Amino acid sequence: MTSWTTPDLCDTHHPDRLVVVQPGLLRGFGGREAFSGAVETVACFEDNSHVKRLADEPGDGRVLVVDGGGSLRRALLGDVIAARFVENGWSGLVIHGAVRDVEILRDLDLGVQAVAPCPVRTEKRGLGDVGVAVTFGGATIRSGQWVYADANGVVVADEPLR
């Protein structure tokens, strides 16, 4: 259980300190409804090679923010890769794109916010960039910022919030 909610964070902190990802763009798919952490970013389009690679790195409670260009033709996260994120201590993922295996994702101790489900996996071609600024839903998100996500939405801050 978290000690915060995104509405409370928005009420407590000056609006200039927060960016809210467009409400309604993302929805929860993971077993952890509320999650937060320092951001790592990936920009990729219908290729989850870098997402898979990062799943094998120590998460240290981080949140992976993935800009998949909003594509719903290929799922950037499925159950096998999601299980690796759990095993390696990631808090969650925010994905501007699709996910699959949603019946299993909801049973994992991992926060997952994404646009929609799609049953089709990606091809692994090694395309995309890690650690770049990504922009979607009216928010530009950079590695090192902090994400707070719950059933109310996704909020981004430059530093940890209390």
Kindly report, residue by residue over 72-127, the tens digit of the pLDDT. 999 999 999 999 999 999 999 999 999 999 999 999 999 999 999 999 999 899 99
Residue 157: pLDDT over 90: yes
Average pLDDT, the chain: 97
Residue 146: pLDDT over 70: yes
Give this prediction's pTM: 0.97
Q: Check residue 162 and give its pLDDT.
A: 77
Do 37 and 12 contact (CB within 8 A), yes or no? no
Rg (CA), the chain: 14
Would you place residue 15 in the very low, low, confident or very high pLDDT band (cuts 50, 70, 90)?
confident
Read off the pLDDT of residues 19-69 as tens digits, 9 standing for 90 and up: 999 999 999 999 999 999 999 999 999 999 999 999 999 999 999 999 999
CATH placement of domain 26-147: 3.50.30.40
Residue 22 CB neighbour total at 10 angstroms: 12
Q: Check residue 153 and give its pLDDT.
A: 97
**Can you tell me the mean pLDDT for 128-139?**
98
CA–CA separation, 10 and 23 (whole Å): 13
Q: Where are the domains of the chain?
A: 26-147
CA–CA separation, 41 and 43 (whole Å): 7
Residue 1: pLDDT over 90: no
